[in-house]
Amino acid sequence: MTYKPSPKPNYFKPTHIKYKLMETYLWGDAEAGNVKDWIYVSNESLHQIIFGMEPGANFKHSNQYRTIFGADELLYVLSGVLIISNPETGEVQKINKGESVFFRKDTWHHAFNFSNEYLQVLEFFSPPPITGTSGAYGKKQKLLTHSIYNRNKENTYDASFINQKSFKTIKENDYIWSIDGPNQETLIGTLIRTEFLDVRIITLGAFKKSHIFEYDKNTSYLSLDDNLKVNIIKEKNCYNLEKKDGLYLPSLTQFTIENLNNYEARIIICVGL
């Protein structure tokens, strides 16, 4: 399969992106493997997708599909077990459901589904591909012709050994927590914040409502639970989000989030460039 750019959905007003109605995009070839993408938004400020692979499947790279990009990436595992490797160095990390991995530009990466269930991974990528940081960038990099998947030459008992080099795994205990709102009603955990990528998880208790949010940049969302109600203040409009539904909000949109469940619920947010 010859490389072709992925679709670039864009929006100019608050938009509820329903997972069950989304079309998917298949990329890859016989050498790199094939991956299914659900592309929520891809414009100059944000790129949010889910990618999926069957049990035992993987993606690597080929001449047409070089998995080395010019962006920061945050991968959050929704289902399955993600094994991510740097085939240039042999580094391998295991990322379980509910955990994340972060890496920066110029990192070769392969991914494997080491589980008996379908792997789905939420991906935030910035600067976004529309700026030339994905496939076009990869094609300009020297092709890696030999892949390795272990670091046996390193002494794991040496005090100077660093377990994570290319990849930073992120678990809930690694979040930077804050309590937002005039009455401290909204719990927010920051997963990563760099000059390019800002990803957070908003947590609401049973039947709780957030304070009024307003960001000066475009934002995109993925609901991690069912029954989240997003109220757009000025438009007097609301969206009822189910699990894996997305939401796109232009900058300066005022809104609240309400948890309609009798249990804690979460939504993950990326603040755009």
Alpha-carbon distance 63 to 213, whole Å?
44
Q: What percent of the chain has pLDDT over 70?
A: 95
Q: What are phi and psi of 172, to 5 degrees?
A: -55, -35
State yes or no: pLDDT of 51 exceeds 70.
yes
Residues 156 and 21 in one domain: yes
What's the distance, CA 114 to chain centroid? 19
pLDDT tens, position by position, 160-209? 556 778 999 999 999 999 999 999 999 999 999 999 999 999 999 999 99
Please name the residue that has the structure tokens 């940049």.
217
Q: CA-CA distance, 166 to 176, in Å (whole number)? A: 21
Q: Which residues pair with 84 in a beta bridge?
A: 93, 111
Query: What pLDDT was estimated at residue 153?
Result: 61
Q: Same structural domain for residues 239 and 155? A: no
- Rounded to an integer, the average pLDDT of 252-269 is 98
Domain boundary among 150, 170, 190: 170
CATH number of the domain that residue 137 is part of: 2.60.120.10
- How many angstroms separate the CA atoms of 161 and 155, rounded? 7
The predicted-structure confidence for 219-244, as pLDDT tens digits, reads as follows 999 999 999 999 999 888 899 999 99
Looking at residue 156, what is its pLDDT?
Answer: 57
Of the three residues 152, 170, 188, the one that is the final residue of a domain is 170
pTM of the model: 0.95
How many distinct structural domains can be found in the chain?
2
Q: 1-17, pLDDT tens digit by residue?
A: 566 778 899 999 999 99
User: Quick one: 162 and 219 in the same domain?
Assistant: no
Tell me, yes or no, whether 134 and 154 share the same domain: yes
The structure tokens 């889910």 sit at 50
User: Domain of 85?
Assistant: 16-170
Tokens of 194: 């760099």
User: Cis link prior to 127 (omega < 30° from 0)?
Assistant: yes
Over residues 109-142, the pLDDT tens digits come to 999 999 999 999 999 999 999 999 999 999 999 9
Spatial contact of 23 and 255, defined as CB atoms under 8 Å apart? no
Give residue 61's identity as a one-letter amino acid code. Answer: H
Whether the Cβ atoms of residue 90 and residue 150 lie closer than 8 Å to each other: yes
Please tell me whether residues 182 and 164 are part of one structural domain: no
> Distance between CA 16 and CA 241 in Å, rounded?
8
Does 11 fall in a domain? no
> 146 and 190: one domain?
no
Q: In sequence order, what are the beta bridge partners of 58?
A: 112
SS3 state at 125: strand
242: nearest Cα among 5, 17, 10, 1:
17
Are 186 and 81 part of one and the same domain? Answer: no
Q: Quick one: 140 and 220 in the same domain?
A: no
- Whole-angstrom CA distances from 261 to 15, 43, 241, 264 are 23, 33, 12, 7
103 and 69 fall within a common domain: yes
Q: Domain end: 149, 170, 191, which one?
A: 170
Residue 191 sits in the same domain as residue 263? yes
